[in-house]
Structure 1
Amino acid sequence: MKRGKKYIEAAKQIQRGNLYEKSEAISLVKKAAVAKFDETIEAHIRTGCDGRHADQQIRGAVVLPYGTGKTVRILVFAKDAKADEAQAAGADFVGGQELVPKIQNEGWLDFDVVVATPDMMGVVGRLGRVLGPKGLMPNPKAGTVTMDVTKAINDIKAGKIEYRLDKTNIIHVPIGKASFTEEQLADNFQTLVDAIIKARPAAVKGQFLKSVTLTSTMGPGIKINPMRLQ
């Protein structure tokens, strides 16, 4: 893959194979974000879990103190009073049965998070094939299947993010933007790490955090010493 001049210059600051302290990694990832837009800073955390086993799955949500810097569009599946409540709480889209063909047949996906009341999960379940692969299916563990739609919407708008293992047992999560201060990124990152460590399945033995890498959208990866985090 051909890399641009800016990427090559940024990569020179990072020693390959080096494991950095958290503060140094955050400083470097900000310096390496040299694109013309405000790059997203992401954490990629490889765990000792084997997601093929049900008792080693990790899935949850945490509110980052400074949010992600991204405006999140929320779709709520609800009816009657709960639909009115969702509108009042600031949901971007609210609906029910009528949205199924729009998503299924028209490919409408102008939203980032889906929240549903428990009584609407029968309707939402029909969209599993579309929403599931995109990580958009509401889930009680993530707080997106709930009767308290106001709290769900407020938390998401405040910077609540979902974390889960992918097929390679890695968790990929945004922790902010390159325009954030080092302190804001550090607080967001530590909040995420603390939540993941707390969610450690009892069945996982040995070292839990195998590798932790910070990257910006266009920048190189910077590895953090995982032993200093757990």
Structure 2
Amino acid sequence: MLGPLFRRSIVAECSALQTRQFTTSSVLQISRKKNVSTIRVPSKKAQAAKARRKAAIAAKEDEKNLKLTLEDAISVLRAVEVASPRATYELTVRTQLGNGAAVPRGRVNLPREAKAKAEDKILVFAEGRIAEEAKKAGAHIVGGVDLIDGILNNRHRATTILCTPQLIRAITPKLGRFLGPLGLMPSERRGTVTEDIAGYISRLRGTSEWRADRAGTIRAPIATMDFPMEDVVTNFRQFLSSVKRATGNSKEQDAGDRKLKSAGGARPVTPITKVLLSSTRGPGIRISDF
């Protein structure tokens, strides 16, 4: 018979054989950090070089488009409209608006109007002597801050709004957001904030207003087919001169430019990208000599 010690040793060996063997090697640690890719931001010099390359490519593509001189374009459109002597020449000027740039607008006095002018309705914020002068000069509505509610409620409608420097701070908080999008808010840059209200109204006589749309495109009739070519050319040059002054593309300075320059500022330039002349039934022709 086996002794007790011998039996215990055999049982221990059998138990050791039946026990599952586990590895004691170290566990591989997997990094759980996200692989964040770094975005390479180009330098200002690289961005400027890229812009120049794109501008050069656009200029080459633009050269492929057909362009005519102003007189040749007038002759082509006249031939198209030979049976319609009252057809209208329409001038289209496309500008490139930057971020936050004001929509171009201005006034022009064409030597020979293509159609009857619509009468301006002038509203003036003024008090005292200046208010009396504005009434004598032909302003339709004259008053102080009491006119604000009438404007907001559309009781007072005007195509031109002028204001004295003394009242501009009083009307801006309530009317700035209302009149600003309409292009009617008085502004020193446009000369509609002034003490010389009577002089401004006198300068309005005989002029018509033009304004670009939100895309920066200006459209205006400048003549009819029965105008002599000299009148069409003169109207074209006069209108485009007004657009260039308003967009900062002209060397000529108006009163607003001189005031900005004396204050140490400058009117931002809005580039003119295309100038086209078309007619009622004719095509739009690019003008090369504008």
Q: What interval of TM-score do these two structures reach, taking the shorter chain for normalisation? A: 0.5 to 0.7
Q: Counterpart of 1:93? A: 141
Out of 117, 124, 132, the position equivalent to 2:180 is: 132
Corresponding position of 1:83: 131
Larger radius of gyration: 2
Q: Over residues 20-57 of structure 1, what are the superposed CA-to-partner deviations in whole Å (9 max), with x where a residue is unaligned?
A: 543517857894866xxxx8x7543112x342165xx6
Q: Does 1:118 align with 2:165?
A: yes
Measured after TM superposition, the shift of residue 109 of structure 1 is 4.6
Which one-letter code corresponds to 1:99 in the other structure?
A: L
Q: What is the TM-score normalised by the length of structure 1?
A: 0.66
Identify which of 147, 152, 163 aligns with 1:104: 152
2:239: which partner in 1? 192
1:32 and 1:124 map into 2 onto residues whose CA distance is: 49
Post-superposition CA distance 1:97-136 (Å, at most 9, x none): 111111113x235321111111121233121222122111
- Residue pairs, 1:1-230, within 5 angstroms: 21-23=69-71, 24=74, 31=84, 43-47=91-95, 49-52=96-99, 59=104, 61-66=106-111, 69-105=117-153, 107-125=154-172, 126-159=174-207, 161=209, 163=211, 166-170=213-217, 172=218, 174=220, 181=227, 184=231, 186-198=233-245, 199-200=248-249, 208-214=271-277, 219=280, 222-229=283-290
Segment of structure 1 superposing worse, 62-71 or 80-89: 62-71
Amino acid paired to 2:128: D
Give me the TM-score of the superposition, normalised by structure 2: 0.54
Distance 1:64 1:203, change over 3 A: closer
The residue matched to 1:188 in structure 2 has which SS? Answer: helix
**Inter-partner Cα distance in structure 1 for 2:109 and 2:90:** 13
Give the match's secondary structure for 1:75. strand
Q: CA RMSD in A?
A: 3.7
SS for the counterpart of 1:228 is coil
Distance 1:69 1:214, change over 3 A: farther
Unaligned 5+ runs, structure 2: 1-64, 250-266
Matches of 2:85 and 2:66, distance apart in 1: 16
Deviations 1:42-98 (CA, angstroms, capped at 9, x unpaired): 543112x342165xx674634424467221111111111110111111111111211
Tell me which of the two structures has the higher relative contact order, counting C-alpha pairs closer than 8 angstroms and 6 or more residues apart. 1
- When you count strand as a share of all residues, which structure comes out higher? 1
CA contact 2:179–2:185 (8 Å) conserved in 1: yes
Native 8 Å contact 1:42 1:174 kept in 2? yes
Give me the whole-angstrom Cα distance separating, in 2, the residues matched to 1:179 and 1:102: 43
Deviations 1:116-162 (A, max 9, x none): 11112123312122212211112222221111111211111220535
Q: Deviation digits for residues 181-206 of structure 1, max 9, x if unmatched?
A: 455554333122123335227767xx
Unaligned runs of 5+ in 1: 1-16
